[in-house]
Structures are given as C-alpha cells and as structure tokens.
Amino acid sequence: MRLYLASTSPARRALLAQTGIEPVLVAPGVDEDAAVASVSAALGRDLTGPELVAMLAVEKAAAVADGRVAGSPVDGFVFGGDSAFEVDGVLYGKPHDPAVARDRWRQMLAAGGGTLWSGHCVVDRRRDVVSTDHGPGGAGRAGTVPPVRHVDASGGGPLGVAASLTHVAPGGSELVAAGDRVVAVDSAVLTFADDMSPEEIEAYVATGEPLEVAGAFTIDGRAAAYITRIDGAPSAVVGLSLPVLRSMLLRGFGVAWHDLWAL
C-alpha cells in the first residue's frame, strides 16, 4: 500500500523509513505564507497554533491528492504535515535568517520552553477500494477501534476542517474525519536547558541547522543536547507524530500500520 508524502522534508522521510515505510515524496507547491495570510484576513485575526498547522497540513495533502505524480493519478494515501513552535503565545515558524534565529533562541530560553504544534492530514486516494459506511475512506473497521469524530468541513468557514481542532491543549492531541480525509493535531511541550550560554547559541546558529526548521531547532540534530524534557511524542517534534499517524490510518480507514511496511 503506497503512502505519498506531500513534503520533501528529509526528516519526515527518515522518520517513516526507520519504521519500515518508504513514502513517495512529492513537493506540494503550497505558498504557506499566502495561505495563512488569506485565512487570517478572512477571519480578521491571527491563527492559533492548532489552526495554523491543521490548515496547512490539509492544504499540502490536498494539493498532492488532487494532482498527478509522474504522469499518473495518485493511488494510495497522501499525508500532509506542518509544524509551528509557540512560546508565550507567539508562533515561530522557520527563521530563515541567522539574526532571527539568534533572537528566537534568546526568547525561547528566557521562557524556558514552549509547545510544538504538529498538524496532520491523510487523504484517501486508493483507486481499488469499494466505499462502505464504515469510515471516511470506505475501509474503517466499525466496532474494532475507537471511532473518529466526523465533522462537516463546509461548516468550518475559511478554516475548513481545521476549525474543528481549535481546542487542543498543549501536550494533547485530537483527530477528526471529514469526507475522504482524517485531520489531526498533536503537540509536545519542550523544556530547554537553563544554562545555555550566548556562545552556545552563536555556535549552534552558525551551523545553519536552525534556519529552515520550525522554532529554529531540531531534536534529531545538534539541538538535542539543549532540550532537557519532552512531554509528548518525540516524533511530533521532528515533524510527524508517528503514533497519531498510526491512529489516523487505523481509526479513520481501518488500515494497520504494518500494511504500509515496505517488506
């Protein structure tokens, strides 16, 4: 069974590969800044962490699910994901610039930590599945696993299905189903070392590692030594919560994790 990853992130691909899943990588081509700006303008306010990552995850998955890969229609599941780090009510995306990364590290250390929000969307594009009434993709096993809460995405306004995931508490998670997709938000609360020096910040930023990752750090690289505690799934901090993705496939579509293994 094929899994398309609507991302070219090496970290997300590596996460899946280490669990036995070899995804097909497809760049979604979504202008994230424009998408966020459009929805924020329609709402008349900034997006919350859960709203932002859920909305972008849906946008990315839909962009690949409704397109063609190597000239052929998608045949399998499409996963889209997004991440943002929140410190004292402020959402941090990718800093891009070393000066911005340095400033964010100072702010994060002053706060002591923050919450990593991880958005997930799985769209069912299997071409050989006969639809039933058991799940959004037609293959859920009713009565064998906890049910997924079904929502009407058309009632979510500019946010769509992401409007149903606005009340996830830091360290918690939630998933919902709408039509042919399951959408989820997972989160992890991180605590940083309280003795990190300005020299260590400078040395870390100089590596270039924090410039293109949400929150200006990774736990699967050099920053791991500066993070003292994670309350939540470590994989969510990398960019894809493996336990949540497993639940989405099982509870939403009746598909076991090992069904995606590349044997």
Where in the sequence numbering do the catalytic residues fall? Answer: 82
CA 96, CA 94: separation in Å to the nearest integer?
6
DSSP, residue by residue, 175-221: EEEETTEEEEEEEEEEEE-TT--HHHHHHHHHTSGGGGSGGG--SSS
Report d(CA 211, CA 44) in Å as an integer.
29
Rounded CA-CA distance 204/248 in Å is 35
Listed residue (232, 16, 231) closest to 122, CA to CA:
16
The answer to whether 223 touches 210, Cβ cutoff 8 Å, is yes
Task: Give burial (CB, 10 Å; 0-12/13-18/19+) of 24.
Answer: middle
Cβ-based neighbour number of residue 166 at 10 Å: 16
Taking the C-alpha atoms of residue 236 and residue 106, their distance in angstroms, rounded to an integer, is 23
Q: Using CB atoms within 10 A of its CB, is residue 29 exposed (0-12), middle (13-18) or buried (19+)?
A: exposed
